[in-house]
């Protein structure tokens, strides 16, 4: 008898950085995911997420928001917490690098490059070049810190692929889809090599965006 896999239901746009992080995590943990297309800040999304962001999630009858919490639940429940590290040191580094992704990379890469360069033109708008110009040195600095870390270990928390790699991969991949990102990544071969290693994972390939 075949067992039906659990499904992580994600509410948000089809193309969403944090939505893809949760989707990759679900597949890495051996469960399925489904995206219920829901606009950020819409009344439907605000009913599930008081800040209107994406994704919000449903699993095991639980309603959750904040991607780190969603991923932690899925990994604890279905994957013996394997994406959070096997040792105290790995677990601490995992949270450190995941926090770097959330606190220092995403705010500047998303609002200073990915949205203006990729998303605004897709919606028929014109990119704010001043925003992009101001953001590039800050993004470059974060990429430099990230690349330096990879001089010392194959993955961000140590020798194993963990949750921090998922967060950072999806965010840096979005940067890599911009012409400015391609140029910046030429300065950081370690980071580029790590990206191509992560890119071969089945969960990563299965969640590629139509614009990739």
Query: What is the strand order of the sheet 62-65 is part of?
Result: 32-37, 7-12, 56-59, 62-65
> Which residues does 20 contact at the CB level (< 8 Å), separation at least 6?
170, 207, 209
8 A C-beta contact, residue 28 and residue 20: no
Measured from each CB, the residue nearest to ligand GSH is 53
Nearest to ligand GSH of 18, 156 (CB atom): 18
Q: Compare residues 44 and 66 and give the one whose CB is closer to ligand GSH.
A: 66
Q: How far is the CB of 54 from ligand GSH (least distance, A)?
A: 4
Q: Angle between the 163-176 and 189-199 helix axes, to the nearest 10 degrees?
A: 110
| Least distance in angstroms from the C-beta of 38 to ligand GSH | 10
Structure tokens at 94: 């995992």
Nearest approach in angstroms of CB 151 to ligand GSH is 28
By beta-carbon proximity to ligand GSH, the closer residue of 29 and 174 is 174
Nearer to ligand GSH, 67 or 207 (CB): 67
Distances (CA, A) of 164 to 11, 26, 41, 131: 22, 14, 27, 27
Report the C-alpha gap between 92 and 148 in whole angstroms: 18
- Binding residues for ligand GSH (CB under 6 A): 16-18, 40-41, 53-54, 66-68
Minimum distance between the CB of residue 211 and ligand GSH, rounded to whole angstroms?
Answer: 14
Nearest to 71 by CA among 203, 193, 174, 190: 203
Q: Minimal distance in Å, beta carbon 141 to ligand GSH? A: 21
Nearer of residues 40 and 81 to ligand GSH, judged by Cβ: 40
> Are the CB atoms for 106 and 171 separated by under 8 Å?
yes
Among residues 158 and 181, whose Cβ is nearest to ligand GSH?
Answer: 181
Decide: residue 139, CB within 10 A, 0-12 exposed, 13-18 middle, 19+ buried. buried
Stated as kind and residue range, the H or E segment containing 36 is strand 32-37
Smallest distance from the beta carbon of 24 to ligand GSH, in angstroms? Answer: 13
């Amino acid at each position: 008898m075949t067992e039906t896999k659990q499904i992580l239901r994600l509410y948000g746009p089809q193309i969403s950085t944090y939505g893809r992080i949760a989707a990759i995590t679900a597949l890495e943990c051996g469960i399925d995911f489904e995206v219920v297309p829901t606009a950020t800040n819409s009344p439907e999304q605000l009913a599930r997420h008081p800040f209107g962001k994406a994704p919000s999630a449903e699993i095991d009858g639980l309603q959750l928001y904040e991607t780190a919490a969603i991923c932690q639940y899925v990994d604890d429940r279905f994957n013996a917490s394997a994406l959070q590290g096997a040792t105290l040191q790995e677990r601490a580094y995992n949270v450190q690098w995941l926090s770097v992704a959330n606190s220092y990379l995403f705010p500047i890469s998303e609002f200073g490059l990915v949205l203006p360069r990729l998303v605004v033109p897709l919606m028929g708008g014109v990119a704010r070049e001043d925003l992009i110009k101001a953001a590039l040195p800050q993004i470059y600095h974060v990429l430099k810190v990230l690349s330096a870390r990879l001089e010392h270990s194959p993955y961000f928390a140590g020798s194993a692929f963990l949750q921090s790699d998922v967060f950072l991969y999806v965010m840096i991949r979005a940067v890599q889809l911009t012409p400015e990102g391609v140029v910046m990544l030429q300065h950081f071969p370690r980071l580029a090599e790590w990206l191509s290693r992560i890119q071969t994972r089945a969960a990563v390939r299965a969640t590629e965006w139509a614009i990739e």
